[in-house]
Structure 1
Amino acid sequence: MQHNRRQAGSSTTLHRAPLLNELQSARLLVAQLRQAQDEGAAQSLAWVVMPDHFHWLVELGPVSLKTLMRRVKSRSTLAINRLQGRSGRLWQKGFHDRALRREENVQAVARYIVLNPKRAGLVERIGDYSHWDAIWL
């Protein structure tokens, strides 16, 4: 198995419901992204949590992106459902992925990811949005 592969993954909530709109729910998902890093599954390079989806740029550790995403989605579903007093699926099946080419500018990809809230019209300045991070900042 290859290690340290740079990949971008994203996943959308079921029916694009804005379940991550409230601060606590978004922070529970962020906690799962951080836990995956703490466990050594991946190094987070950049991420953004939008009201109905998230994007995550990582350098994979010893697990596949499929395993990593399945783990984050499963754990975040349990935590967010508990918080919101709901049950059932939170995420659409599967996820979108993209492997980065060796020569690709990783910082440009990270910038594109974290600028999602601005492009979506949620904020005028990315600094006004609280659910994103990148290792270069």
Structure 2
Amino acid sequence: MNSPHSDQLRRGRFSEPGRLYLLTSKTLNRVPYLVDLRSARLLIAQLRTVEQEGIARSLAWVVMPDHFHWLVELGDVDLKTLMRRVKSRSTRMINGYQRRTGRLWQQGFHDRALRREEDVRAVARYIVMNPKRAGLVERIGDYPHWDAIWL
């Protein structure tokens, strides 16, 4: 089921190479498909793959049971293409592992372009503290599905 505001997620979207973006995508119907170690790692592998391909540079990310947050510096590709690659490849891998078929992700994604004067480290801290705020762990060091370039 699509969010009633999913069309608004795309309205006015602008992709600028070299710009920093905070990206968020949710699993279909917020089902916790990413709760187990292997499924989360399959998504993380796709975040790393697009970085190796040179189309995005990851600054920080966290994979939650039903969504992920990703702070990236966009390469020479638009946001839609970047997210389509990550979501389609991770769907194929996770569905294969979980022996399921069908969609894994909700349509669309949320993006927020960061202004140059924003404290990027504060945004990264906000991202990686997500599991603690959600009550999944007492200490962020106990959560296995996050990373940031400053650590």
TM-score using structure 2 length: 0.89
1:125 equivalent in structure 2: 139
**2:109 is the alignment partner of 1:95:** yes
**Residue 24 (structure 1) aligns with:** 38
State the Cα deviation string for residues 54-89 of structure 1 (Å, max 9, x = none): 000000000112111111000000000000000000
Q: CA RMSD in A?
A: 0.8
Tell me which residue corresponds to 1:11: 25
Partner of 1:74: 88
Paired residues, number: 137
CA distance in 2, matches of 1:43, 1:83: 27
1:6 is matched by which residue type in structure 2? Answer: L
Match in the other structure for 1:57: 71
Identity in percent = 74
Q: Distance in 2 between matches of 1:8 and 1:65?
A: 11
Give the letter aligned to residue 88 of structure 2: S
* TM-score (structure 1 length as normaliser): 0.98
Q: Which runs of 4+ in 1 moved over 2 A?
A: none
Q: Deviations over 1:4-49 (max 9, x none)?
A: 1100101000010000000000000000000000000100000000
Query: SS at the partner of 2:84?
Result: helix
Whole-angstrom CA distance in 2 between matches of 1:69 and 1:3: 14
- What are structure 1's unaligned runs of at least 5 residues? none
Structure 2: tracts of 5 or more residues without a match: 1-14
